[in-house]
Homo-oligomer: A and B are copies of this chain.
Amino acid sequence: MQLAHPGPEEFVLASVLSALGSPIRLEVVKRLSQGEHLNCTTALPHVPQSTASHHWRVLRESGLLQQTREGRVITMTLRRADIDGRFPGLLDAVVGSGQS
């Protein structure tokens, strides 16, 4: 089963910013940008599965990350090239500041 991912031409800036505007999602994006390889269970161990899954969906539908199944595990990766292509400098500015 494949999850639906928007194409870069479908990205909406307000949706991307809104997705990043939640501390819990912002943190995940930052960790992904630092090269961390996250799957859905390890990313937020203290958060219930269904809640976490909701946040993955928001991030995925905004275009920020990709979920690819590898066996039974779904791995999440930042769609850095796609986001950079549409909103140059945005991701760098967001993950570059040492802030939350």
Kindly name the residue among A21, A87, A96, A100 whose own CB sees the greatest number of chain B CB atoms within 10 A: A21
Contact with B along A65-100 (1 / 0, CB 8 A): 000000000000000000000111110111011011
Measured between beta carbons, the chain B residues less than 8 angstroms from A21 are 14-15, 17-21
Q: Does A47 contact B (CB under 8 A)?
A: no
Kindly name the residue among A15, A17, A18, A96 whose own CB sees the greatest number of chain B CB atoms within 10 A: A17
Interface size on A, residues (CB 8 A): 25
Kindly name the residue among A11, A14, A20, A90 whose own CB sees the greatest number of chain B CB atoms within 10 A: A14
Q: Chain A: residues with CB nearer than 8 A to chain B?
A: 11-15, 17-23, 26, 86-90, 92-94, 96-97, 99-100
